[in-house]
Each structure stands twice: as C-alpha cells, then as structure tokens.
Amino acid sequence: MATVTKALAHKTRRQILLYLKKNPENVTPGELSKKLGQSPQAMSAHFKILKDAKLIVETPNDEDGRSITYSLSMGVIDDGLLTLIEAFGDRPFVKGRLEIKPQKAPIPKKAKG
C-alpha cells in the first residue's frame, strides 16, 4: 500500500491516471508528455513509479519493443479510486493522506432579546 500511496502523492501521476481513465485505449508516452506539458525524462520517472505500484501497464507495440503504450492496470485500481483521485486531484497529499483544509464555520449572531 505504501507504494500506491507514494505513486498517488504527486499531482502529475494522478493526472496520468485520470488521462488513462478518460482515454482507455493504449496511450503513448509522447502523447501523455505533450498533454501534461512534461519533459519525456520527467514522464519516464513518473511511469516507473506508477508501474512499480502496479497502477499502469506498459505494453510493447512492435517486435523490437521500442514502441510502447500505457494503460490502467484495473487489477489494482478501480473506478472508486479513480473517482476519488478525480475529486481531489489538485489537492496536495501530506504523509500519504489528502490534505483537506477545514472550512471556517460562520460565527452565529447573538439573538436580540
């Protein structure tokens, strides 16, 4: 579970998962790199962490294995978790948990009387 938490701790990795959810066909690293505005080197590091957490699957597309695509690994990740990521995707994680800042409650006015 710690590996999955680490994988979900970075906004770009959550964006990768959401993009793969919305585009279930195999997606190339270049497509994801362009879509998210990240360098191929940065994306490669994110892909490795997501693969280690078994959240995505890397599939070779040709015989020499030089062309690859990525897809979600539904064995580990399901729609419930993706919905959670979608709902809180822009909020930072703190120590493996979402940081949810409490809203200040309005101060009740004193009744006249």
Tell me the per-residue pLDDT of 87-96, one tens digit each, with 9 for 90 and over: 666 555 554 5
Q: What is the pLDDT of residue 112?
A: 64
Spatial separation of the C-alpha atoms in residues 79 and 35, rounded to whole Å: 22
- Domains of the chain listed by start with CATH number: 2-98 (1.10.10.10)
Spatial separation of the C-alpha atoms in residues 74 and 48, rounded to whole Å: 17
Q: What is the pLDDT of residue 46?
A: 94
Q: What is the pLDDT of residue 37?
A: 92
Contact 19, 35 (CB under 8 A): yes
- Chain centroid to Cα 4, Å, comes to 10
Contact 52, 2 (CB under 8 A): no
**Prediction pTM value:** 0.66
Tell me the per-residue pLDDT of 31-80, one tens digit each, with 9 for 90 and over: 999 999 999 899 999 999 999 988 898 988 876 667 889 988 876 666 55
